[in-house]
Each structure stands twice: as structure tokens, then as C-alpha cells.
Amino acid sequence: MKVILCENYDEMSAKAANIFAAQLTLKPDSILGLATGSTPVGMYKKLIEKNEAGEIDFSAVRTFNLDEYYPIKRDNSQSYFTFMNENLFSHVNIDINNTCIPNGEAEDAEKECKEYEKMLAEAGGVDLQVLGIGQNGHIGFNEPDEKLESYTHVTGLTESTINANARFFDSVNDVPTKGITMGMASIMSAKKIVILASGESKKDAVKALLDDKITTSVPATLLKTHPDVILICDKEAYAL
Ligand code: F6R
């Protein structure tokens, strides 16, 4: 795993955006794997600026998001569908038909998972995946467990994740308790992965990412077996 240590969140976001820009320069029809949450927002802002400046073009890009709450209405202000539109898609020249997010409104969630995995495979897999990391080491909604799921699946969210995400909702009771997420094998099949970590609350997860152990109790540690992962983090996240 390559590590890029940054002074602060802004530098982390700029470095990550530069890697995405380089990817689109090299392969304009890239398949991008996208994440939500606070961490990639700065990177998305910089990608919007680069798109506005004519430095990068999203017209041929396809995207797959890691996850979505389940069940949730797409027009809920906290759905990842809304998040992606507000933080990236509505600001760049992407064809919205080329963007895929697990459907939190699906009546048959199991069927939705199978179809999502099939679409990913048919697209030929993700070229560049961005990940955030949970305080508990989750990636996507792959929460710490004895066994991790390989492919897209419905999952329960842990108390740690529900509490961490409560900041976006009126109350902790409003946070959905389930999600649809790509599985570990779906994520690991990306050709290149950039994982971002910012702030003191991520320091334990980053420490686990950088020691020499792999454990399903910190799902992100499985990334150590991937041949092309770049961790970009700020000093606070790197503290331990
Ligand atoms: C979001 C996702 C999650 C977040 C993680 C960190 O699509 O898959 O794994 O990346 O929970 O969230 P933030 O960035 O809000 O700290």
C-alpha cells in the first residue's frame, strides 16, 4: 500500500482529485467507483472545479456507488442518491444515465443486489475506486464481523456506524439500520483503489490499515492483499 501523508484535509482532497483527473486523462471512459460520507466531499469539489475549468471531462464516464441505505426513498435528503447529485453529478457534465447507485427503494432487495453485481460485471469492473473508512474500519457498509460477504448484499449497520452517521439526521432514531453495499470481493475487484482518511476519529482504523495484520474485524485491512492501493490521509488520521 502506498501512503501519501498530507498536512490537512484540503491537501488530501487535492491529491485525490489529481489522481482521478489523471485517470480521466488516460481513460476518458473510465468506470469510477464512488463513495459518500464527509471524506470525499472536498475531492468532489475539486473535481467540479477541474470540470468547470475544462481540465477533465465526465461525458464518457460511468460510475458505481459503493452503497445506499435500505430502505430509503431516493428523494430523502439523506439518501446517497441525493448526496451524489448534490455533491457531484449535478455539477459536472456526466450523463446521469451512466451513474449507478444501489436502489434503496427496491421492493426486492436481494434481487437488487444480484442485479447491481451483474451490472458491475457487465461494465467490466471499476477502474478507479475511492473509499472512505469507518471509525470501526468498515469500507462501504462492510461492517466488522467474523465472516464478510463477497458480493453486493443487504446488511445491518453497527451501532458505531449508526452513531457516526447520526450527525446527518435529525435524530439517531432516523438513521436507517440497514444498507445495500458492494461486498469485499466487489470492492477488491477494482483495478486501482484510493482510500481517504481524515481526522483524529480515523486514527485507530488507519493504524490497523498500516500494521501487518489482516482481520475481518477491521474490514479495510483486507485491502493489504490488493496490488494497487493508495492511502491518502492527513496528520490527524495518521497520528498513531
Ligand atoms: C460511504 C461509505 C462509508 C464511508 C465511511 C466514512 O459510501 O461507504 O464506508 O466511507 O463511513 O464516512 P465519513 O467519510 O463520513 O467519515
Q: Judge whether 237 lies within some domain.
A: no
Q: What band does 148 get if pLDDT is binned at 50, 70 and 90?
A: very high
Q: Judge whether 22 lies within some domain.
A: yes
In tens, the pLDDT along 107-141 reads 999 999 999 999 999 999 999 999 999 999 999 99
Q: What is the mean pLDDT of residues 202-218?
A: 98
In percent, how much of the chain has pLDDT > 70?
100
Residue 40: CATH number of its domain: 3.40.50.1360
Nearest CA, atom 8, ligand 1: 140
pLDDT, the chain, mean: 97
Which residue among the candidates 138, 149, 153, 165 is catalytic per the annotation?
138
pLDDT at 124: 95
Predicted TM-score (pTM) of the model is 0.97
- 106: containing domain: 2-231
Nearest CA, atom 3, ligand 1: 140
Q: Judge whether 199 lies within some domain.
A: yes
Q: Judge whether 14 lies within some domain.
A: yes
pLDDT at 212: 95
Q: Judge whether 122 lies within some domain.
A: yes
Looking at the DSSP bridge assignments, the partners of residue 156 are: 178
Taking the C-alpha atoms of residue 152 and residue 216, their distance in angstroms, rounded to an integer, is 17
Query: Is 75 marked active-site?
Result: no
User: Between β-strands 62-65 and 31-34, what pairing exists: parallel, antiparallel or unpaired?
Assistant: parallel
38 Cβ closer than 6 Å to some ligand 1 atom: yes
Say whether 187 sits in a helix, a strand or coil. helix
Contact 210, 172 (CB under 8 A): no
Nearest Cα to Cα of residue 164 among 129, 134, 189: 134
Query: Is 136 marked active-site?
Result: yes
> What is the total count of domains within the chain?
1
Q: What band does 219 get if pLDDT is binned at 50, 70 and 90?
A: very high
Q: Judge whether 239 lies within some domain.
A: no
Nearest CA, atom 9, ligand 1: 140
Q: Judge whether 80 lies within some domain.
A: yes
Q: Judge whether 120 lies within some domain.
A: yes
